[in-house]
Structure 1
Amino acid sequence: YSIALARVPAGIGETAIVQIRNREMPVKVTKPVFVRNGKAVA
């Protein structure tokens, strides 16, 4: 699996369709989790 970050509008929903190598792929929209010293930072 691969991970990508993108800025999207707040109201986009939980899923989206993106183009990867000229193919449309379904993706899950989540909030990024940042880690500092081994612990999640809000």
Structure 2
Amino acid sequence: IALARVPAGIGETAIVQIRNREMPVKVTKPVFVRNGKAVA
């Protein structure tokens, strides 16, 4: 799990480097959880 600030819109894809490997990722809105339930 990681959080990053990127200049891309929600739903777009990007390539990130993790331990010298390039991985495709999808930009999503962060979901916060309180007491086991998602909080908007």
TMscore range, shorter length:
0.5 to 0.7
Q: 1:12 to 1:36 in 2, by over 3 A?
A: closer
Question: CA RMSD of the aligned region, Å?
Answer: 1.9
Gaps of 5+ in 1: none
> What TM-score results when the alignment is normalised by the length of structure 1?
0.64
More helix by share: 1
Q: 1:14 to 1:35 in 2, by over 3 A?
A: same
Identity of aligned residues (%): 100
Gaps of 5+ in 2: none
